[in-house]
């Protein structure tokens, strides 16, 4: 069974780490690569479109795993094998001290092909656009004049968006 985790840089998806038959693979997310303000998550993992492959856990990512007494607590509480590096990453690295964190991938079966996975995630996210507005007049600039609403989430089926209305400055 293939397991995978999403790699975040300051809460922004940077890539995916996954277990393969040969070891481990890390690939940068398509949106991360296309961004104008992207940077590598580590100097040892420069930006590139090809995935990084290794028979052992990629060194920088392995360095996120707790050590010493914290590793002992993690292994004991989650009943993990200390040699299960990806298992440790997925349970212990959701909120790290630094900018990089690892979150379990919701559908590990989809991680069979990193590029297909990343492209499908990108496509599904493009279907849902979030627009944050501070007043109803902000919508008039886009040519849309909705009726006044209470603050909250509102679906606009004509534009395929969800509006986040934080209240009007009336």
pLDDT tens, position by position, 64-112: 999 999 999 999 999 999 999 999 999 999 988 899 999 999 765 554 4
- The structure's pTM equals 0.62
My answer on whether 67 and 149 are in the same domain is no
My answer on whether 157 and 87 are in the same domain is no
Calculate the alpha carbon distances from 27 to 41, 119, 131, 161 in Å: 11, 12, 29, 29
Considering the domain boundaries, does residue 170 fall inside one?
no
Tokens at 70, concatenated: 């914290």
My answer on whether 133 and 116 are in the same domain is no
Which residues form the domain of 116? 4-126
My answer on whether 35 and 62 are in the same domain is yes
Give the residue with greater pLDDT, 162 vs 29: 29
The string over 56-67, giving b where at least 16 C-beta atoms fall within 10 Å of a residue's C-beta and e elsewhere, is: ebbebbeebbee
Please state the domain count of the chain. 2
My answer on whether 106 and 144 are in the same domain is no
Q: What average pLDDT does the structure give for the chain? A: 75
């Amino acid at each position: 069974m293939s397991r995978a985790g999403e790699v975040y840089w300051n809460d922004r998806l940077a890539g995916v780490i996954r277990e393969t038959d040969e070891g481990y693979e890390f690939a940068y997310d398509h949106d991360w690569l296309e961004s104008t303000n992207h940077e590598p998550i580590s100097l040892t993992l420069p930006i590139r479109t090809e995935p990084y492959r290794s028979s052992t856990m990629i060194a920088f990512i392995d360095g996120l795993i707790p050590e010493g007494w914290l590793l002992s607590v993690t292994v004991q509480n989650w009943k993990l094998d200390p040699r299960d590096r990806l298992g440790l990453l997925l349970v212990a690295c959701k909120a790290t001290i630094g900018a990089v964190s690892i979150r379990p991938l919701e559908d590990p079966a989809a991680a069979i092909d990193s590029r297909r996975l990343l492209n499908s995630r990108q496509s599904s996210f493009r279907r849902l656009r979030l627009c944050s507005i501070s007043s109803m007049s902000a919508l008039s600039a886009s040519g849309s004049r909705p009726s006044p609403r209470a603050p909250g989430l509102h679906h606009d089926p004509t534009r395929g968006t969800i509006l986040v209305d934080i209240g009007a400055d009336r």
